Chains A and B, each alone.
Chain A
């Protein structure tokens, strides 16, 4: 579990996060959602330590993250995997070298063991026959999968995903969502996803944090979204008349 307690963060006098407190649960897909500029990415980067909060605490189970020394932080980070919005793959390395990189850097595994682990992860994200290709030679959806494979290659306990569906078609986005959810369950990870893809919210949103202007606007699950009377949620999730109609039809069927 990861706990955010009273997180505040300002940039150049503008307060972006205004006292966020939330529990991100283990073995669940935890979603951070909100409009553009609501503070989603800053919160995600604060949780993972890429942005230091002005105030507040982040706990990884029983470890207070911002009280750790640099050495301890680097040790903890070996339990963390992250999928970046732009994938952050190394252009000069092949797909196999990209996925193997954390193993090369931080383990004493033999080459054969590393090969086995890399191939397992690539198979897990349903990528085969691309080991020797470079990131520029594969599609955006495939690059996302490589990013996931690299994020899970060290068997992390915590997985962070920044906009995993950005730039993907709806079908591929759905596949990526399912993949992240399945991996989360199988590996018993704490997964935190920053998204504004409403399909993702309704498909995999087990524990949702809605941000508005740097504050917690709502928390709950995808089931609760369907039944909430919160006007802000209504307007945000079911923004178009088409989605509103779909929601009403779904509720009628439910009744």
Chain B
């Protein structure tokens, strides 16, 4: 079992070297990057909007429950909610959901190409297929996902504000006071750095599972599942490592 994980780690590392080797024709990659930005970025707006609204609302309700009957100043709800969302909830939960949406789609797309011998056809033409198929997706995701996560953080905070003031009995003035208290832009950088790493993990792990898929529809389904499971696990591990390095 452990040996198998080392085998995958080795193969993934060698494969990444090919992904980052020099492109044959940059113009062809440019068009593909634009397509990926549209697919990953704009294609995920709806789901990011929905989860952000609920992340903010749930966090506000839970914080109001925790703060109820304590001596903690009521404006702390804005401050605590802001920190929770920026540092962890927005990047991590959004990335976990995107791992499901984007990850399975990438694994199925590349896996389908492998099974239909399209990757073999590209290899025969002399194309560096890991680079051609995966690099534009990485660039597209590393560009789009951080923007989606910033959007998710903003929406979650707004949703938290609306819930806390409309349903949990906090005043807008208290919430805004908390929101603007003890602000340190460093936490936003932590969020953005997490977003970069998480987007890289989602694309490369999912593409890896699709690229090396075996024959048959069951294997294709398994590749999609593995893409989501391993991306999610690695996102949580990376979340811990980044937190430890940047805030520990």
Interface majority SS (helix, strand, loop, mixed), chain A: mixed
A82–B121 contact, CB under 8 A? yes
Measured CB to CB, the closest approach of chain B to A77, in angstroms, equals 4
With both beta carbons as reference points, the residue of chain B lying nearest to A75 in the complex is identified as: B126
> Are A106 and B124 interface neighbours, CB within 8 A?
no
Q: Are B124 and A82 in contact (CB under 8 A)?
A: yes
Collect the chain B residues with CB atoms within 8 Å of residue A74's CB. Answer: 126-128
Contacts of A85 in B (CB 8 A): 117
Residues of B contacting A77 in the complex (Cβ-Cβ under 8 angstroms) = 123-126
Q: How far is the CA of A78 from the CA of B118 in the complex (A)?
A: 16
| A89 vs B121: C-alpha distance when bound (angstroms) | 8
A76-B126, A106-B25 are known; give 8 further A-B pairs, CB within 8 A: A48-B124, A77-B123, A78-B126, A84-B117, A85-B117, A104-B25, A105-B25, A105-B127
Q: In whole angstroms, what is the CA distance A81 to B128 when docked?
A: 16
- Cβ 8 A contact of A80, one of B25, B118, B124: B124
Number of interface residues of B (CB under 8 A): 14
Q: Are A86 and B116 interface neighbours, CB within 8 A?
A: yes
Task: Count A interface residues, CB 8 Å.
Answer: 25
Q: How far is the CA of A84 from the CA of B148 in the complex (A)?
A: 40
Please give me the residue from chain B that is nearest to A84 by CB atom.
Answer: B117
Does B24 have its Cβ within 8 Å of any Cβ on chain A? Answer: yes
Give the complex CA separation of A88 and B118 in angstroms.
Answer: 5
Name B132's closest neighbour in chain A (CB-CB): A105
Q: How far is the CB of A148 from chain B (nearest CB, A)?
A: 13
Residues of chain A lying within 8 A (CB to CB) of residue B120: 50, 82, 84, 88
Return A136 CB to nearest CB of chain B, in Å: 12
CA distance A145 to B154 in the complex (A): 54
Residue in chain A with minimal CB distance to B124: A82
Report A84-109 CB contacts with B as 1/0, cut-off 8 Å. 11101110000000000110111000
Shortest distance from the beta carbon of A158 to any chain B beta carbon, whole Å: 10
B28 within 8 A of A: yes
Are A78 and B28 closer than 8 Å at their CB atoms?
A: no
A154 to B121, CA, bound (A): 14
Chain A residues within an 8 Å CB radius of B126: 73-78, 80, 106
A214 to chain B, nearest CB (A): 20
Pairwise interchain contact B123-A50, C-beta atoms closer than 8 A:
yes
Kindly state the separation between the CA atoms of A49 and B124 in the bound complex, as whole angstroms: 8
A sample of 25 cross-chain residue pairs with beta-carbon separation below 8 angstroms, ordered by A number, consists of A48-B124, A50-B123, A74-B126, A74-B127, A76-B126, A77-B123, A77-B125, A77-B126, A80-B124, A80-B126, A81-B124, A82-B120, A82-B124, A84-B121, A85-B117, A86-B116, A88-B116, A88-B118, A88-B121, A89-B118, A90-B118, A101-B125, A102-B125, A105-B25, A160-B124
